[in-house]
Amino acid sequence: MKVLIACGGTGGHIFPGLSLAQELDRRGIRDVLLVGTDHPLEVKLFGSFGLPYVLLPVAKISADPVKFVKFISRFFRASVRSAKLLADYKPDVIVGFGGYASFPVCLLGALAGRPLYLHEQNCEAGLANRILAILAKRVAVSFWETKKAFGGKAVFTGNPIRRRLLSASKEEALKSYGFSGDRFTMLVLGGSQGSQRINMIVGDMLGMLDDREKAGIQIIHIAGMKNYEDVFARYRTSGVEARVYDFVEDIGTAYAPADLVISRAGATALFEIAVLGIPSIMIPYRFAGGHQYFNAAALEKAGGTVIMREEGLTAQMLKDKVFTLIGDMYALRAMSEAARKFAVADAAGRLADCIL
């Protein structure tokens, strides 16, 4: 059986696709081909997976005239490459994980008669999946709330999580970072490419901490490639025990020691945090079409996170929330339990069952 998995565009699309590929491999289905875009981060990611992959020259659609011309040009090139890929590989099944990167190969494959299955990570369905759903056999969803968008084709599976995240040891992770087991550990991340806004607010928060507050915490901060140098410089003079990275491939080692996560609300990060039962403060990206807010709102409604809206958010507001939670272990435990109940630990298995 040949399975083509179209999962490029962002880490939020890539990692669920990788999780599915690993689950299929566990079941003896090893003829799997991953398809992504030629973005530099994806080149790095796909090259580290040890699985066959193809990268297509796809660009995001944009209302800007110059960017729209680029989109049309790259979409045409990606469609030509997709047609050749489908003719050469001849997949038995195509699985699309949404986003602009999956659209050309999924559309052409479905029109050519290949069975198409989709997975929608976000609570609010994306445009690519809403269009492709017309041709799909089934649409797997991460949130119960999303089922209504796809009618009778929808099946609830949850969001596939990389299996190795579940096996990381807190004690070993603390040791690998050179951290103390007596301090409160925070993880700050902003998605696969980082968040300049979160970096700035957390950086400003560092300057507000007194000596007692600094002595009680330690931070892992994944800043993204663009802002790494600036974030590193702020920590170097802050007096806070911290480890700063541009990107962490083995994110399980960063999650494992965390007592609290400050994060965007992309679906993959949200479900990874939830399945591990880590209390969190979610700061949804307001320019992502609003879907991150709906993701976080579903988890907050279940009791598993606290939302802080990016609009008007200050470093003082974030500091007050962080240290209120640090001082309320009951609230942290309740948030952890609620997050675990919300997540679906075997989502990759459920998705594989749906396809097979």
Q: Which pLDDT does position 73 carry in this prediction?
A: 83
DSSP state of 305: -
pLDDT at position 144 over 70: yes
| pLDDT band of 63, cuts 50, 70, 90 | low
Cα distances (Å, whole numbers) of residue 64 to 67, 76, 286, 287: 5, 18, 19, 16
Structure tokens at 221: 């901060």
- Is the domain spanning 3-156 CATH 3.40.50.2000? The answer is yes
pLDDT digits (tens, 9 = 90+) for 309-318: 999 999 999 9
The whole-number average pLDDT for the span 193-205 is 91
What are the boundaries of each domain within the chain? Answer: 3-156, 164-342
CA dihedral 166→167→169→173, nearest 10 degrees, is -80
pLDDT-above-70 percentage for the chain: 97
Instruction: Give the global pTM.
Output: 0.89
User: Alpha-carbon distance 261 to 219, whole Å?
Assistant: 10
Angle between helices 11-26 and 40-48 (to 10 degrees): 20
Interior CA angle at 124 toward 118 and 125, to 5°? 30
Q: Which amino acid is at 124?
A: E
How far is 52 from 46, CA to CA, in rounded Å? 8
Given CATH 2.40.420.20, say whether it is the number of domain 164-342: no
The confidence score (pLDDT) of residue 68 equals 74
Whole-number Å distance between alpha carbons of 90 and 283: 42
Establish whether domains 3-156 and 164-342 are of one fold.
Answer: yes
Look up residue 344 and give its amino acid. Answer: V
Q: How far apart are CA 35 and CA 46, in angstroms?
A: 9
Task: Give residue-wise pLDDT tens across range 13-51.
Answer: 888 999 999 999 999 999 999 998 877 767 777 777 788
